[in-house]
Amino acid sequence: MPILFLDFDGVLHPEHCHESKHFCCLPFLEDAARQVPECKVVITSTWRLEQPLEALLQRFSPDVAVMIEGVTPKYSDLTNVPNTLVGYEREAECHAWLWANDVPHLSWVALDDRSWLYRPFCRSLFMVNGRTGLTPTSGSQLASRLQCLL
């Protein structure tokens, strides 16, 4: 069961786009997720700090919403961040979620547009161009990557 850590801004819609375009790339994510129904999704987006999980879930189709396991903890709330992850906030949050949920052994992919939130050469990072967000091509590549983790 792979875990997909999901960012919103720059992934599910272009970074700094008008509100009317929010979640315009969501269909590409949902298509990828449906190809790997064993996948569990965890929200890493800063939206998790501003809205309750229930409100975030309403953005997704019901069949994909049930794949969402929750949200990562906030970096400033973490204790005992390993030295290797200090300064790489989002990756530290992903690892903290894995440990808190007793699944540190599971394979995972972080779908994000900000590489600096992860250690250099992080093999679990799936980068998206923040100016476009997820595209049909990158969505297909994501599905393939997730299938390789099964």
Summarize pLDDT for 82-137 with one digit per residue, the tens: 999 999 999 999 999 999 999 999 999 999 999 999 999 999 999 999 999 999 99
Residue 8's Cβ-count burial label (10 Å; 0-12, 13-18, 19+) is buried
Residue 14: per-residue pLDDT: 98
Nearest to 134 by CA among 13, 4, 39, 3: 13
Q: What is the DSSP letter of 81?
A: -
DSSP H or E run through 65: helix 62-65
Q: 108, 144, 143: which is closest to 31 by C-alpha?
A: 143
Q: What is the pLDDT of residues 29-78, one digit of tens each?
A: 999 999 999 999 999 999 999 999 999 999 999 999 999 999 999 999 99
Residue 83 pLDDT = 94
What is the fold of 3-148? Rossmann fold (3.40.50)
**pTM of this prediction?**
0.97
The H or E element that residue 30 is part of is: helix 26-34
CA 104 to chain CA mean position, Å? 16
